[in-house]
Amino acid sequence: MKIETAIFAAMISFSAMAGTGAVDDSSSAFAKVQTVGLDEAKWTRGFWADRFELCRTQMLPNMGRLMEGTNYSQFYRNFEIAAGVREGKSRGATFNDGDFYKLMEAASAAYAVTRDDYFGRNLDRAISVIAQAQETNGYIDTWVQLHQRAGETSAAPFSDPNNFEMYNLGHLMTAACMHYRATGKTNFLAIARKAADFLGEEFKNPTPELARNAVCPSHYMGIVELYRATHEARYLELAEKLLAMRDLVKDGGDDNQDRIPFEQQGEAEGHAVRANYLYAGAADLFLETGDTNLWNPLAKIWTNVVAQKMYITGGCGALYDGASPDGAKDQKHITRVHQAYGRNYQLPNTTAYSETCANIGNALWNWRMFLATGEAKFMDVVELGFYNSVLSGVGLDGTNFFYTNPLRVTDPMPAELRWSRQRVPFVSSFCCPPNLVRTVAESADYAYGKSADAIWVNLYGGSTLETKLADGEVIKLTQETEYPWNGRVRIKIEACGSKAFALKLRIPGWAAGASVRVNDKPADFSPQPESYFEVRRTWKSGDFVDLDLPMPARLMEANPLVEEDLNQVAIQRGPVVYCLESPDLPRGMKMSDVQIPSDMKLTACYDRRLLDGVVVLEGQALTWPEGDWSGKLYREFKPQELKPANLRFIPYSVWQNRGPSEMSVWLPRVGI
Ligand SMILES: [Zn+2]
């Protein structure tokens, strides 16, 4: 018996370590690219290594203290009370369980890379409490459980979609799969299986009322991942059933993407986190089933998002509040939406919602679309979000967070808005901070992929990769670069087998004029933007590839149908979007005085003392004092003399790290 147990444990350990990422598509029939193992890609030096280190030393421990404590709300404490190891009452938002699971996912990802027992110990402690909190039938949701125990007759499983049970359970499953892969242990996975089995029973014969329970649907991703971890077909069937169940909803609305059946959808509508989680979950199901009824709407919605609804920062969700389908002829179908995608080309800057979770959801969705196709255009969106509207969500201290990510902030603001214009340690809706922690903890996971005889280099950053190709050959490589500050990348083969394989290098859509050299000799072909450039050969240890992605600072303009950006320009260099922030304005100048000459020359220079080290862009703009607008909405236009002013622009993601400020990504252009 002991020997059998040991062998079983060894098998679990082996399968857990064998080539699996946060998304394990190693057995997915419709994946073109497989993820690499959680501990196979590691940041070593540079931008992402610094972010990961901040995550390990600040973001994770600080978030652990906050969620274990009770200063702001209750997260871990709710589990302790539900488990019966502490006295007390439920406190906090209905989705706090899910946000605690995200922290556990992040700690598991960090453990996979660092093997730091600090994470392992804390995870085991939490898992044992969660196991005690779980009902014998598999149900677990501390908000519902504790309110039920307090005698509230209205609190019952799946009686109110706004209890976010599916969201909570989805994150439980994703975190448990991550923990299983990181540690080889099944203690958390067992809880997730029980919970999924509960869902299987509860939703055996779904009614239209039950079908409404898909708010912020992280559970499609979670259950598909559970299927991948266990290879039990009933979990895949459950995920399919729960996605199909959406169509039972009667009188649904765009806010929850259930006004019309999923198959008929072609535009991104409604709450942007809910939408992007739904799209990511549907893409996960497609990776397993190849169902074109999932792919067709996803492809249409994707085109709608990138061509009509996404901010230049990769941000999603233009509106605080609105109506959808706004302006429709058939007015009875118009419903209220919040934190939502707007109309096509409706992309306000000051009142942009662009919730960090929606922007992370956009990356999760595009990552899965990339895995299904191997197409660079999806990875470009992942990268755009990461460097801009995702990382803007966390301060350089790793402990203060934005919930919304506007592209312009003025003082005064044109309207009072719900959320702070400054990063804060806590907001009542605490979904984004742990989402950021897990994203940074897992960032190396996105850097590489593999297929039968190819290694895919998706993100650039100082890193190492050690993985196996399908034939069992071990490939070791290192990547050295100062990306995103500089577009030169060197990839060196440290070890490989004797068979030929391809190195596939992502050439971003903005990278015109890219070049590749292999062992100092120019490649036979020129790389094309928005593609993967393949270098296929029989490699030997010590071979190296140099990629040069030219990164001039570029003035960008928006489609003229975007009213809010009309006659304005933004600045982008490589994948990084820049902004003007008030601490960089010359004395006496206001943000609204600034005009950008169409032929402005921008010089990039690295400032290691500023904002933890960033490339700033410097150039001569023009100013035109706005004068006195007090009490006026309109006035007669009077031309004034434009005066030159030297300005400095900083990466958008690091704005508001120098105290309260004004900021704008888009600025008016003048001249040619
Ligand atoms: Zn959020």
Q: What is the pLDDT of residues 38-60, one digit of tens each?
A: 999 999 999 999 999 999 999 99
Q: How far is the CA of 380 from the centre of ligand 1 (A)?
A: 22
Which H or E run contains 302?
helix 292-304
Q: What is the pLDDT of residues 207-233, one digit of tens each?
A: 999 999 999 999 999 999 999 999 999
**pLDDT tens profile 394-440:** 999 999 999 999 999 999 999 889 888 899 999 999 999 999 999 99
CA of 319 to the centre of ligand 1 (A): 14
CA 349/CA 409 separation, integer angstroms: 8
Angle at 100 between CA 383 and CA 430, to 5 degrees: 65
Ligand 1: centre distance to CA 514 (Å): 36
Q: Kindly give the distance from the C-alpha atom of residue 361 to the centroid of ligand 1, in angstroms, as a whole number.
A: 10
Q: Residues 495-546: pLDDT tens digits?
A: 999 999 999 999 999 999 999 999 999 998 999 999 999 999 999 999 999 9
Distances (CA, A) of 600 to 428, 487, 519, 544: 43, 22, 38, 37
CA of 95 to the centre of ligand 1 (A): 11
In the predicted model, what is the mean pLDDT of residues 614-622?
A: 97
Helix (H) or strand (E) holding 4: helix 2-17
Residue 8 pLDDT class (50, 70, 90 cuts): very low
Q: Is the pLDDT of residue 604 over 80?
A: yes
Distance 403 CA to ligand 1 centre (A): 6
CA pair distance 491, 375, nearest whole angstrom: 21
Whether pLDDT at 12 is above 90: no
CB atoms under 10 Å from CB of 62, counted, come to 17
Q: Using one digit for the tens of pLDDT, what is the confidence trace for 175-218?
A: 999 999 999 999 999 999 999 999 999 999 999 999 999 999 99
Find the 393 Cα to ligand 1 centroid distance in Å. Answer: 10
pLDDT in the model for residue 16: 41
Residue 14 Cα to ligand 1 midpoint, Å, equals 35
* Residue 1 clears pLDDT 50, i.e. is over it: no
Phi, psi of 438 (to 5 degrees): -70, -35
**278: CA distance to ligand 1 center in Å?**
15
Q: Given a cut of 50, is residue 592 above it in pLDDT?
A: yes
Q: Is residue 306 classed as helix, strand or coil in its secondary structure?
A: helix
49 alpha carbon to ligand 1 midpoint, in Å?
24
The structure tokens listed for 136 are 């014998």
What pLDDT is attached to residue 672? 57
Number of Cβ within a 10 Å radius of residue 373: 17
Structure confidence by residue, pLDDT tens digits, 358-407: 999 999 999 999 999 999 999 999 999 999 999 999 999 999 999 999 99
Who surrounds ion ligand 1 at CB < 5 A? 357, 431-432
Expressed in angstroms and rounded, the spacing between residue 359 Cα and the centre of ligand 1 is 9
* Residues in CB range of 79: below 8 A, 6 or more apart: 97, 100, 126, 129, 130, 133, 142
Distance in Å, CA 400 to ligand 1 centroid? 14
- pLDDT at site 472: 92
CA of 436 to the centre of ligand 1 (A): 9
Q: Concatenate the DSSP letters of all residues of 319-383 into one string.
A: EEEEEETTT-SSGGG-EEEEEEE-STT---STT----HHHHHHHHHHHHHHHHHH--HHHHHHHH
pLDDT band at residue 22, thresholds of 50, 70 and 90?
confident
Q: How many CA atoms lie within 13 A of 117 on its CB side?
A: 0
Q: In angstroms, what is the span from residue 430 Cα to ligand 1's centroid? A: 7
4 confidence band (pLDDT: 50, 70, 90): very low
- pLDDT tens-digit map of 26-38: 999 999 999 999 9
What is the average per-residue pLDDT within 236-261? 96
- Which strands make up the sheet holding 34-35, listed edge to edge? 34-35, 448-451, 454-457, 501-507, 531-537
Determine the distance separating the centroid of ligand 1 and the alpha carbon of 39, expressed in angstroms. 27
Cα(356) to centroid of ligand 1, in Å? 5
For residue 533, what pLDDT is reported?
98
Which 3-state string (H, E, C) describes 440-482? HHCHHHHCEEEECCEEEECCCCEEEEEEECCCCCEEEEEEEEC
Average pLDDT taken over every residue of the chain: 95
Q: 77 alpha carbon to ligand 1 midpoint, in Å?
A: 21
At residue 17, does pLDDT exceed 70?
no
Contacts of 524 (CB under 8 A, 6+ apart): none
Could you report the per-residue pLDDT of 561-573, keeping only the tens digit for each?
999 999 999 999 9
C-alpha separations of 568 from 342, 364, 504, 578 in Å: 21, 30, 37, 14
pLDDT in tens, 619-660: 999 999 988 899 999 999 998 899 999 999 999 999 999 999
Q: How far is the CA of 237 from the centre of ligand 1 (A)?
A: 29
HEC readout, 491-530:
EEEEECCCCCEEEEEEECCCCCCCEEEECCEECCCCCCCC
Distance (angstroms) between ligand 1 centre and the Cα of 99 equals 9
Distance 402 CA to ligand 1 centre (A): 9
- Give the model confidence (pLDDT) of 89-105 as tens digits: 999 999 999 999 999 99
498 C-alpha to ligand 1 centroid (Å): 48
Question: What's the predicted TM-score (pTM) here?
Answer: 0.96
**At 621, is the secondary structure helix, strand, or coil?**
strand
The CB-side HSE value for 571 (13 A sphere, CA atoms) comes to 31
Ligand 1 mean position, distance from CA 316 (Å): 12
